[in-house]
Amino acid sequence: MYKPSIGAILWALIPFIAICFSVSLWDRIYPRILGLPFNFFWLITWLLLTPVCMWGAYRQEARRASDPRREDGGTP
Amino acid sequence: MNPGLIALAFISAIVSAGAFVGFYAGTRRKMDLEQWIVGDRGFGMLLVWLLMAGEVYTTFTFLGASGWAYSKGAPVLYILGYQPLMYVVSFFILPQVWEVGRKFCMQTQADFFHVRYNNKYLAAFVALVGVIFIIPYLQLQLTGLGMIVEVASYGAIHRTPAMIIAFLIVAAFVFTSGIRGIAWVSVLKDLLLLFSAVFVGVAIPYIYFGGIGPMFAELVRAKPAHLVMPGSTTNLGHSWYISTVLLVAFGFYMWPQFFGASFSAKSSDTLRRNAVIMPFYSITMPLMFFIGLAATLILPGLSNGDLSMLTMVRRTFPGWFLGLIGGAGALTAMVPAGVMILTAATLFAKNMCRPILWPGMTDQQVARLAKTTVLVITAIALCSAIYNSPTLVALLLVGYGGVAQFFPGVVLGLYSKRVTTSGVFAGLVTGVFVFVALTLAKRDPLMGLNAGFIALCCNLAVVAAVCLLTPSQCNGFDEQPQESMGA
């Protein structure tokens, strides 16, 4: 059975920590950046950074898929 | 000329264009069950992106996001929290689902349960729970559509005829073109929605305050508490935010219609790359928030916060622009509604009727029954939307929490060797029961936590306990596919 790599899971944990678990650290108005309250600014920034993290996860999975030593032999 | 008539002309033109695209997409193709439900598994990256975006961004997002920003304030940020995270979760689920889906020719979510756990009663139960939660979601789309068309036509079209006309169109193009029709209508819908969201979201703060920064400066001065959680509510604080974001991020792709849409992709890699770029589409959401926040300063005291965006647009722009927004809003209801109708009809015909009642049905008969069911489900949703019953509103709140209870069965089904049919069945029943009970008893949120999240925790505990007590069983995905699943 196919399991995702640890590397991909670690990449995926970054947005979870930044967006979800750390809410009490960033849910405030100041400092206002680009005119936005800090909490709005933070989440909008992570809309742009989440694809970056997931691109990292994608690279991890793609590298594994092209590795001939894989044992499960299936498609990624 | 009367602005109501101009708006009406724009709405009709856009809806007709959508209907034309929807019908045209299905002509010249033979509509068997496989083509109708999963588009012959041939959708490339762009079409999958548009279809998924078309389904995810419903009238609830269109009206609800600005409505929450207006009436509740900062808790609306949970939308910006769960949207990128649900795509992160989909990265690890949908490609694997697609792989087993192709191997066993699956067309619905219940097929997945049927093959993995080799039990038609579990599959039928999953289908039943799915259909029960889809219908109120569908009703919400109808109500939203009626509201949009009524406001956008300056009251020229009453909401009941608007709902009936729009949904007859939806039922007709779902009937003839299936998922392919829906995907192509969502191309038109996404373009219009993107344009109107960006334009309105930037223009309104600019017109009234001279920009987004000055608007927030004014809000910070007048209503600072509105801008941090729990905003203008008493119980939507940080623990509610975390539990809700987790619940929706894990539960979102458990909606049978989103699960099913992944089968239409051309390859599992399409879905994986799609999961990487999907968060970019959410950039329109903050713009909806800005409109709602502007309305808190300009139009305080609206009785229905969900109307704040349309009221702002009507107050600010000429009739033709309101018609454009109204048309975009109508399509925003019609696209997801189309997928829901298609999914519910297929679940009913294929996973409930055939295995339990008439095991001898051929695939052609299943397809015919599913198409007839399209009309029945549309009629049920229309009746419930017209005679808006409060029980259904209560059920609607159950929706997300309800379908999220499929999560253990799907994820453990993909990744665990030890999971058993009785464990998943018991967990699912427990989860749905706990959530419905908490919601009907009006205990959501309970102790600051989302009730669906609590139900999901109970569900997982029961799955773990029962799986450890029952002997391990073979994994349906390791067996050789049989022909019976296919179309």
Of B95, B216, B276, the CB nearest to A32: B216
B70 within 8 A of B308, measured Cβ to Cβ? yes
Provide the residue ranges of all domains of chain B, joining segments of one domain with +. Answer: 3-390
Closest of A6, A75, A74, A60 to residue B276, by C-alpha: A60
Comparing CA positions, the residue from B147, B280, B144, B286 lying closest to residue B204 is B286
ipTM: 0.87
**Which residues, 6+ apart, have CB-to-CB distance to B58 below 8 Å?**
B140, B141, B144, B332, B333, B336
Q: How far apart are CA B417 and CA B427, in angstroms?
A: 17
Tens digit of pLDDT for each residue in B206-255?
Answer: 999 888 889 999 888 888 888 888 877 777 888 888 988 988 889 888 88
Report the alpha-carbon angle B218-B223-B228, nearest 5: 110
Are B53 and B279 in contact, with CB atoms under 8 Å apart?
Answer: no
Largest CA distance in chain A: 53
Which residue on chain B is closest to A28 by alpha carbon?
B228
Distance CA B21, CA B19 (A): 6
Q: Are B189 and B335 in contact (CB under 8 A)?
A: yes
Q: What is the pLDDT of residues B384-428, one digit of tens each?
A: 777 765 555 555 556 778 888 888 888 888 888 778 888 888 888
Mean pLDDT by 10-residue block, N- to C-terminus, for chain B (487 residues)? 79 84 74 73 77 77 83 88 92 89 85 85 88 83 83 79 83 80 83 86 90 89 85 82 88 85 83 88 87 89 82 87 86 85 86 79 79 85 74 60 86 82 87 83 73 87 84 75 53
> What dotted CATH number matches B3-390?
1.20.1730.10
Dihedral pair phi/psi, residue B79, rounded to 5° = -65, -45
Distance separating alpha carbons of residues B218 and B212, to the nearest angstrom: 10
What are the C-alpha distances in Å from B458 to residues B400, B418, B427, B446, B465?
A: 16, 19, 8, 14, 11
Instruction: Please say whether the beta carbons of B326 and B149 come within 8 A.
Output: yes
Chain A: closest CA distance from residue B242 (Å): 6
pLDDT at A74: 46
Q: What is the pTM of this model?
A: 0.86
Q: Within an 8 Å CB–CB cutoff, is residue A13 touching chain B?
A: no
d(CA B236, CA B484) in angstroms, rounded, equals: 48
**CA–CA gap between residue B330 and residue B16 (Å, rounded):** 11
What are the backbone dihedrals phi and psi of residue B265, each rounded to the nearest 5 degrees, phi first?
A: -70, 160
Disruptive mutation site among A9, A26, A27 for chain B (greatest number of B CBs within 10 Å): A27
Alpha-carbon gap, residue B263 to B204, rounded angstroms: 40
Among candidate residues A39, A29, A43, A35, the one with its CA nearest the CA of residue B210: A35
- For residue B360, give the 3-state DSSP assignment: coil
Q: How far is CA B463 from CA A33, B255, B412, B415, in A?
A: 46, 20, 10, 14
Cα gap B252→B6, rounded to integer Å: 38
Partner B, chain A 18-37, Cβ-Cβ below 8 Å: 19-21, 23-24, 27-29, 32, 34-37
What spatial distance separates the first Cα and last Cα of chain A, rounded to whole Å? 11
How many C-beta atoms lie closer than 10 Å to residue B239's C-beta?
A: 17
Residue B380: how many CA atoms within 13 Å on its side-chain side?
18
- Nearest CA distance, A41 vs chain B (angstrom): 10
